[in-house]
Amino acid sequence: MASLNKEQLDYFDEFGFLPLENVFDPVKVLDPIIQEYHGVLDDLVDDLYEEGKISSKFKNSSFAEKLTKVMQETGESHALYFDFSLPSPAAITLESKGWFGPSVFNAFVDEDILDVVESIIGSEIYSNPVQHVRIKPPEKVLPKTDNLKVSVGATPWHQDQGVVNDEADETNMLTVWFPLLDAPIESGPLKVIPGSHKGGLLTHCGDFGAKGVMQIPTHLFDEEGAVPVPLNRGDLVIMNKRTVHGSLPNISDDIRWSFDLRYNPIGQNTGREEFPGFVARSRRDSSSELRDPVEWNHMWEETKIRLSSVNSGDPIDINFRKRSDGNQSECA
């Protein structure tokens, strides 16, 4: 995709988000990722079956059916098994799961996606390690456990600046969100508050409404102004780090599967410096760009080993994310 035009840039500046159609080739970028994740799910199923936690390996089921059955029988999302990240540093052990496969990495450095990013933050682009995959089955088929409500239910209102630490407050962090499968409104895509990025960082309340849930109380912004952002494969939406957003519930008959990636200018704090980022694009020094998915995988494996080694003594206390911000009387 070519660089964004003036009309698109003006829209982003005004509303704090910008949906874009047909940015990249979904067959080239997304289909290999989906194939990788079939293997990841098979490994999870093998592990759970050997542990006696599921009744079958569901060999004749589709990816969506198999994952849904796993969640139904275990009451857990097993989200960390699929995520290209690690849990909070104090919880990391050598057994911590994650997926850092080559097809996932290739999406991070897709030239069409980076062209969009460059239009917003410039040509010196760093892949911020605050990044996640989210796979959400239809809510109607899942047990009503706290674990599933928090991890695969509708995402509560938040700003992406609110889930990193204070050291990234001045970082020009850009969120890139895209679905691996078409994401119509009924599947639970993002919902955003247009123009909400023009204010500051709002109060994020921990354990607000439910244990483990951090969100912005709705009396702090105009929830009635929310707009949904349905997207198809190959589309994406970019967001300012202060744009208030969440997601709708998945009331469809299929899974909602998405990536949310983040980028910032090289040299700016990522907000999670304990985790490894990398140079995704540099017009000044192309030799600094990482293009080896094996090296990326090793970076995360080394991070897991390092932090789990520290945790073998007393758990470490790292300023990993904002647990709450602002006036806490607003959380009452």
Which tokens go with 99? 């997926």
pLDDT tens sequence across 1-36 = 678 999 999 999 999 999 999 999 999 999 999 999
Assigned domain for 289 exists: yes
- Residue 315 covered by a domain: yes
Report the SS3 class of residue 134: strand
Average pLDDT for residues 252-278, to the nearest whole number? 98
Q: State the amino acid at position 9 in one-letter form.
A: L
In a domain, 1, yes or no: no
Q: What's the pLDDT score for residue 315?
A: 52
Is 103 inside a domain boundary?
Answer: yes
Q: In this structure, what CATH number is given to the domain that contains residue 198?
A: 2.60.120.620
Q: Could you tell me which residues are beta bridge partners of residue 176?
A: 238, 261
Domain total in the chain: 1
DSSP code per residue over 249-285: ---SSS-EEEEEEEEEETTS--S-TTS--EEEE-SS-
Q: What pLDDT, on a 0 to 100 scale, did the predictor assign at position 146?
A: 75
- 147/152 Cα distance (integer angstroms): 8
pLDDT greater than 60 at residue 227: yes
Amino acid letter, 274: E
For residue 47, the enclosing domain spans 6-331
d(CA 138, CA 186) in angstroms, rounded, equals 10
Q: Are 308 and 92 in contact (CB under 8 A)?
A: yes
**In a domain? residue 48:** yes
pTM of the model: 0.94
Residue 288 resides in a domain: yes
